[in-house]
Amino acid sequence: MADDDIDNLDFLPQELMGGGMMGGPGGMMGGMMGGMGLAALADPRIKDGTASRWVCVYPVYFDQDKSWEEGRRVPKAAAVKDPAAVYIHRAVEMLGLEAAVEPARRHPRDAFTFGRIRVQLRTSDGRALNSTCTTKKQLLLRIASLLPAVVVALDADGPHHAETAATSRS
């Protein structure tokens, strides 16, 4: 196969989750990313059902290049260029909320961007965990306000974050 015959769809989604072409985290993508594939962010609370009632947040909600109809859920002025699940996950952590990443999930209107973050806004008895984020809309606006600083901080922390973010988009 010629180099120009290869596109991102030839390697999705297994390689993005750390499986690599050779299998396992030492495969092609896993080796390039130092084992920091999206699977490294996966959370066991997804499988055991703990996070099933948590709020879903997708990267497309914060993408300034998307329209409201395409899935953006924050004002364009608050949106960022090419948001990724790793950045959103860190912003949620900064808010002091529990978050679980589902690396293989995609928004129905943005099938080429991987990652869904589940966020616990309330306890099982209905109490808000963070008084500044009691609704999903408030949560999205708070995440959007933190994203620019999170992107700069994580990218400065090391190139593996930027590489992981880049592989979550096609």
- HEC-encoded secondary structure of 49-90: CCCCCCEEECHHHHECCCCCCCCCCCCHHHCECCCCHHHHHH
**56 Cβ neighbours under 8 A, 6+ residues apart:** 116, 117, 118
Dig out the tokens for 101 from the structure: 């990443």
Q: Taking the model in full, what pTM does it have? A: 0.70
CA distance 60 to 161: 18
* Per-residue model confidence as pLDDT tens digits over 85-106: 999 999 999 999 999 998 889 9
CA distance 123 to 34: 36
Mean pLDDT of 56-84: 95
* Per-residue model confidence as pLDDT tens digits over 118-151: 999 999 898 999 999 999 999 999 999 999 999 8
14 or 77, greater pLDDT:
77
Q: Is pLDDT of 51 > 60? A: yes
